[in-house]
């Protein structure tokens, strides 16, 4: 599954996702190991428009593992016909059922007998059920759209089961380890169509309901319940064969969006073939459907044979889309298709190892996009983005391990976050660099071949990689991947490598400790990692395989280093996930090289990224004088690459955030204007043509920062272009704005403009048929400086008839991150918390995001007390959000500490 982040390229913001405190995998929330399901037959009738409900019959073939009187399975919000529940034994005889009851607090259903079920015996459990097709975007839910030709609302029903919502659609053993085959029959009204995981077989008329038909689908391969999928709609499809084998590809969408499916139908088969070669394993199904859903809570979902997407993640019009949109759709398609092997074919035993699914899909998706578009250099760009993102989020005490124990379903939902996805991905990248590409790829292939159609744990992956590394000789025989990687996946956080040189003795001493951004929490010297050590004192930055290791046994390592070396730099090409803190003399030698326009490129771009970001981060926590950091940043006046500037903007964003709404913010604005002047002069013409993925992103981010920091030429250009567009005939089909800069221009025009500009853009939102365009507009509408407009906009966000439920948080986030909107959004949250909580039920983690985007901008003890009081009073509305709340509180404490130490002194270092 691809979770939805804020991909607005013009926003550099710290976004803290949900985290998890230590939890125990108790049996309290897991099924007892008494039965294994082997096969399901699902007969489901769907009723749309008139009553929005479904009814069905689940026939489950089970094998008894341990003697018991009771079958325990999952059910949530279903109406069970208890009197008709039956069990048949091996001989076809009815097995006595004396009671059937449910425990709604644990989502459990119990079927009890007066006789014991015997180990080894097989039984058939039959359960009639019904339920409502809700608008909760979970389970079996409804979505809608307006047909342009008839102007009528059309309804559809679709599933979203990950992580634990299959139980909302049918009674089942709803845990990933319980794999079974599924035979599905879908009843629906004539004129609609149905799709499911497997190929359609035949359609029969329903004798009891003349207006209804029943579609039968082939029996599935063994899979977990969270991967079951079906949909009833009037959608149409674009079809093609993969061109490489017999896999039939279809892109399924509303008919008004068919012209936006060509990109996906071209990319999908190519990346599927790439994965077949990469994993050395054929795709096991005969068809692959990919459906664009108007209302969808996540970004996409990897259901086997029927991948479902938010419209913005699958549909695209190449003529008007930005290159960022194109990259985003390619990446999400690559992510979901990677899951067909890592997640679907081989599935984690329990959600503890969710990162095996999501981290691997994220990592391999970046490789897939790089394969499709090698000219983009997107793998390197994504490496930088992931590095920056993980180091930020994982530096809090309240972060969580990549492999994290979870129990209650609320906890499961909250680990679909940056740690599982992005940190997991980066750790795989790190392994690839120290094991080598050949070892890593073959180890992964061995793992898949060994565990396909079954379940596995991270130790199984470590075992396959170790075996292959020892076979190829890329890892010392006395060392295992588990020994190294458990320190990275079972511990929270990451290390800082302390580098201290003794210049007179000609030595260097290395040590490590956990990096924390809140120094008031102290340091955790008990944490230690197996750190792959790479270093250079010259121009050779290409040796990314570890020559040595810093570990718990030699955590204070002194080695020779020639006295005459100008500087030493560690972590070649940021191959390892750690920061590096040098002594002052070494920093100054590096700065001397960087500030020489003829020498700075002798330090490769990826290491320049780390030097920029580490120095800003170390200064933020007081480990490095800000004077040194601002001396380093001076070199940017001759930096020509996108990634170092991205690192600089990312690292400076916290300073901007913490100086907002203070007298010193004007000084920071002046500093940013001076720093940007040289690079902005290269991109200052908004109508100028720029080619290439990195160059376009470079122009976009520089322009966004220039406008954001009120460089007059930038804001005026944006407003002038927008107002010129307002005067064009047929502005919906004649958008004269430069395509790549539309998001920036929209936001600046709304910020500087008034009611007319807001109403004009809102009308464009209502008329647009393009998901990416609507997404950009939604965000931009929150950029307005008019508080009355923002208040109305926030109220609209909780009205599904105006703004789709999936987009409500986008509205809130955009208003909250707006200087003029922060107090408006905070007041809205405080007043409307009951309504927000009710709106998102049962997803409490969504509510936590609202608190976080407000809290992460707070920076005083008074504000901390204020939001803590709000949290205490509103605890009943924050159920399921407690983990991100803890992270928010820690962030405010960190902000408060920085404000007291640096807010009045940092301006002294901004004078150039």
Q: Read off the pLDDT of residues 876-903 as tens digits, 9 standing for 90 and up.
A: 898 878 778 988 999 999 999 999 999 8
Segment among 14-18, 532-536, 580-584 with least mean pLDDT: 14-18
pLDDT in tens, 320-333: 999 999 999 999 99
pTM, rounded to two decimals? 0.94
Residue 18 has what pLDDT?
33
Closest CA to 316 of 279, 269, 261, 361: 261
Beta-carbon-side half-sphere exposure of residue 137 (alpha carbons within 13 Å): 24
Residue 245 has what pLDDT?
63
Q: What is the C-alpha to C-alpha distance for residues 717 and 721, in angstroms, rounded to an integer?
A: 6
Residue 360 has what pLDDT?
94
Residue 522 has what pLDDT?
57
pLDDT in tens, 26-35: 457 789 999 9
- Binding-site annotation: residue ranges for Zn(2+): 335, 339, 358
Integer Rg of the chain from CA: 28
Q: What is the C-alpha to C-alpha distance for residues 155 and 325, in angstroms, rounded to an integer?
A: 27
Residue 14 has what pLDDT?
29
Q: What is the C-alpha to C-alpha distance for residues 898 and 617, in angstroms, rounded to an integer?
A: 12
Residue 540 has what pLDDT?
76
Instruction: Kindly list the distances between the CA atom of residue 118 and the CA atoms of 71, 95, 205, 611, 690, in Å, as whole numbers in the listed order.
Output: 12, 12, 40, 64, 71
Local structure of 749: helix, strand or coil: helix
Residue 807 has what pLDDT?
94
E strands of 755-910, at which residues?
Answer: none
Catalytic site residue 336? yes
Q: Is pLDDT of 762 > 70?
A: yes
Q: Is pLDDT of 776 > 90?
A: yes
719 vs 244, residue with greater confidence? 719
Q: Grade residue 474 by pLDDT with cuts at 50, 70 and 90.
A: very high
- Binding-site annotation: residue ranges: 335, 339, 358
pLDDT in tens, 51-95: 999 999 999 999 999 999 999 999 999 999 999 999 999 888 999
Residue 24 has what pLDDT?
43
Sequence-distant (≥ 6) Cβ neighbours of residue 151 within 8 angstroms: none
Tokens 């002798």: give the residue.
Answer: 602
pLDDT in tens, 302-323: 999 999 999 999 999 988 999 9
Candidate list 162, 218, 313, 336, residue with the active-site label: 336
Q: Is pLDDT of 496 > 80?
A: yes
Q: Grade residue 712 by pLDDT with cuts at 50, 70 and 90.
A: confident
Give the max Cα distance, the chain: 94
Q: In what helix (H) or strand (E) does residue 69 lie, and over which residues does it extend?
A: strand 68-74
Mean pLDDT along residues 743-768 = 96
Sequence-distant (≥ 6) Cβ neighbours of residue 907 within 8 angstroms: 664, 667, 668
Q: Is pLDDT of 12 > 50?
A: no
Q: How many CB atoms lie within 10 A of CB 831?
A: 11
24 vs 466, residue with greater confidence? 466
Q: Grade residue 818 by pLDDT with cuts at 50, 70 and 90.
A: very high
Segment among 243-247, 248-252, 359-363 with least mean pLDDT: 243-247
The whole-chain average pLDDT of the chain stands at: 92
Question: Which class for 559: exposed (0-12), middle (13-18), buried (19 or more C-beta within 10 A)?
Answer: exposed
Q: Is pLDDT of 20 > 90?
A: no
134 vs 884, residue with greater confidence? 134
Given the DSSP bridges, would you call strands 556-560 and 507-514 parallel, antiparallel or unpaired? antiparallel
Q: Is pLDDT of 721 > 50?
A: yes
Please tell me the total number of residues recorded for the chain in this structure.
Answer: 912
Question: Which class for 124: exposed (0-12), middle (13-18), buried (19 or more C-beta within 10 A)?
Answer: middle
Residue 244 has what pLDDT?
57
Q: What is the C-alpha to C-alpha distance for residues 114 and 103, in angstroms, rounded to an integer?
A: 20
pLDDT in tens, 152-192: 999 999 999 999 999 999 999 999 999 999 999 999 999 99
Instruction: Kindly list the distances between the CA atom of residue 256 and the CA atoms of 260, 571, 737, 770, 898, in Å, as whole numbers in the listed order.
Output: 9, 51, 24, 10, 52
Residue 408 has what pLDDT?
74
E strands of 488-608, at which residues?
Answer: 495-502, 507-514, 531-533, 535-536, 548-550, 556-560, 569-570, 579-582
Local structure of 873: helix, strand or coil: helix
Q: In what helix (H) or strand (E) does residue 372 lie, and over which residues does it extend?
A: helix 354-372
Q: Grade residue 867 by pLDDT with cuts at 50, 70 and 90.
A: very high
pLDDT in tens, 632-654: 999 999 999 999 999 999 999 99
Residue 7 has what pLDDT?
41
Residue 21 has what pLDDT?
37
Mean pLDDT along residues 783-792 = 97
Structure tokens at 906: 């940092």
The CA-based angle 507-513-514, given to 5 degrees, is 150
Instruction: Kindly list the distances between the CA atom of residue 870 and the CA atoms of 821, 823, 873, in Å, as whole numbers in the listed order.
Output: 19, 15, 5
Residue 8 has what pLDDT?
37
Percent above pLDDT 70 for the chain: 96
Sequence-distant (≥ 6) Cβ neighbours of residue 539 within 8 angstroms: 602
Q: What is the C-alpha to C-alpha distance for residues 176 and 302, in angstroms, rounded to an integer?
A: 14
Residue 520 has what pLDDT?
65
Instruction: Kindly list the distances between the CA atom of residue 826 and the CA atoms of 11, 195, 886, in Å, as whole numbers in the listed order.
Output: 20, 43, 18
844 vs 542, residue with greater confidence? 542
């Amino acid at each position: 599954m691809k979770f939805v982040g804020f991909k607005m390229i013009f926003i550099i913001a710290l976004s803290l996702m949900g985290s998890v405190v230590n939890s125990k995998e108790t049996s309290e929330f897991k099924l007892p190991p008494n039965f294994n399901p082997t096969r399901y037959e699902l007969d489901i009738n769907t009723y749309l428009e008139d009553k929005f409900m479904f009814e069905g019959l689940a026939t489950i073939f089970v094998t008894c593992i341990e003697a018991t009187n009771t079958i325990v399975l999952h059910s949530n919000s279903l109406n069970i016909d208890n009197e008709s529940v039956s069990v048949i034994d091996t001989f076809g005889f009815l097995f006595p059922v004396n009671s059937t009851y449910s425990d709604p607090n644990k989502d459990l259903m119990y079927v009890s007998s007066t006789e014991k079920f015997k180990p080894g015996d097989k039984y058939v459990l039959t359960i009639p059920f019904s339920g409502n097709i809700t608008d909760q975007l979970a389970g079996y839910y409804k979505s809608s759209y307006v047909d342009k030709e008839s102007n009528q609302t059309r309804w559809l029903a679709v599933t979203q089961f990950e992580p634990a919502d299959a139980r909302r659609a049918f009674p089942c053993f709803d845990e990933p380890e319980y794999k079974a085959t599924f035979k599905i029959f879908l009843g629906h009204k004539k004129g609609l169509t149905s799709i499911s995981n497997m190929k359609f077989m035949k359609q029969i008329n329903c004798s009891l309901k003349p207006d209804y038909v029943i579609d039968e689908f082939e029996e599935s391969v063994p899979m977990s319940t969270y991967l079951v999928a079906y949909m009833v709609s009037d959608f149409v499809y674009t079809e093609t064969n993969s061109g490489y084998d017999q896999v039939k590809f279809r892109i399924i969408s509303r008919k008004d969006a068919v012209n936006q499916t060509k990109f996906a139908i071209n990319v999908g088969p190519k990346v599927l073939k790439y994965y077949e070669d990469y994993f050395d394993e054929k795709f096991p199904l005969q068809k692959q459907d990919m459906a664009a859903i108007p209302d969808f809570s996540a970004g996409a979902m990897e259901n086997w044979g029927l991948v479902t997407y938010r419209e913005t993640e699958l549909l695209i019009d190449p003529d008007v889309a930005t290159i960022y949109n194109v990259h985003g759709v390619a990446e999400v398609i690559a992510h979901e298709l990677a899951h067909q092997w890592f997640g679907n074919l081989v599935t984690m035993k329990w959600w503890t190892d969710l990162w095996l699914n999501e981290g691997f899909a994220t990592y391999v998706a970046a490789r897939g996009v790089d394969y499709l578009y090698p000219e983009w250099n997107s793998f390197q760009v994504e490496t930088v983005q992931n590095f920056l993102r993980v180091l930020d989020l994982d530096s809090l005490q309240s972060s969580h391990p990549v492999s994290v124990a979870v129990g209650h379903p609320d906890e499961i939902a909250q680990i679909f976050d940056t740690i599982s996805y992005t940190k997991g991905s980066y750790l795989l990248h790190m392994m690839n660099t120290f094991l080598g590409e050949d070892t890593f790829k073959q180890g992964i292939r061995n793992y898949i071949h060994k565990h396909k159609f079954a379940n596995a744990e991270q130790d199984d992956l470590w075992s396959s990689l170790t075996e292959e590394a020892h076979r190829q000789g890329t890892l010392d025989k006395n060392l295992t991947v588990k020994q190294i990687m458990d320190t990275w996946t079972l511990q929270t956080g990451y290390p800082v490598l302390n580098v201290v040189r003794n210049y007179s003795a000609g030595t260097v001493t290395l040590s490590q400790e956990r990096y924390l951004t809140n120094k008031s929490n102290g340091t955790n010297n008990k944490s230690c990692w197996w750190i792959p050590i790479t270093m250079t004192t010259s121009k050779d930055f290409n040796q990314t395989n570890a020559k040595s290791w810093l570990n718990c046994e030699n955590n204070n390592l002194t080695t020779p280093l020639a006295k005459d070396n100008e500087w030493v730099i560690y972590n070649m090409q940021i191959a390892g996930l750690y920061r590096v803190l040098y002594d002052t003399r070494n920093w100054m030698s590096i700065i001397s090289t960087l500030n020489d326009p003829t020498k700075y490129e002798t330090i490769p771009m990826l290491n320049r990224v780390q030097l920029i970001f580490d120095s800003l981060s170390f200064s933020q926590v007081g480990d490095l004088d800000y004077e040194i950091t601002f001396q380093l940043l001076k070199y940017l006046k001759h930096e020509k690459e996108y990634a170092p500037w991205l690192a600089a903007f990312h690292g400076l964003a916290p300073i901007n955030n913490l100086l907002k709404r203070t007298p010193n913010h004007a000084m920071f604005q002046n500093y940013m204007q001076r720093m940007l002047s040289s690079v902005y002069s290269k991109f200052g013409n908004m109508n100028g043509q720029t080619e290439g993925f990195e160059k376009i992103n470079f122009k976009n981010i520089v322009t966004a920062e220039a406008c954001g920091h009120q460089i007059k030429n930038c804001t005026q250009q944006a407003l002038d272009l927008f107002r010129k567009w307002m005067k064009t005939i047929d502005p919906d089909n004649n958008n004269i704005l430069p395509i790549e800069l539309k998001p920036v221009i929209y936001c600046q025009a709304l910020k500087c403009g008034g009611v007319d500009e807001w109403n004009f853009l809102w009308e464009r939102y209502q008329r647009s048929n393009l998901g990416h365009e609507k997404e950009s507009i939604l965000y931009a509408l929150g950029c307005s400086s008019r508080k009355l407009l923002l208040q109305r906009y926030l109220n609209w966000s909780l009205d599904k008839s105006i703004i789709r439920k999936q987009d409500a948080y986008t509205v809130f986030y955009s208003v909250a991150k707006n200087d003029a909107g922060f107090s408006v959004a905070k007041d809205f949250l405080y007043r409307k918390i009951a309504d927000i909580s009710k709106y998102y039920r049962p997803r409490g983690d969504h509510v936590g995001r609202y608190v976080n985007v407000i809290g992460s901008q707070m920076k005083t003890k008074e504000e901390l007390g204020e939001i803590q009081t709000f949290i205490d009073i509103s605890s009943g509305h924050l159920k399921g959000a407690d983990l991100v709340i803890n992270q928010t509180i820690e962030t405010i404490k960190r902000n408060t500490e920085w404000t007291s130490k640096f807010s009045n002194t940092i301006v002294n270092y901004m004078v150039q």
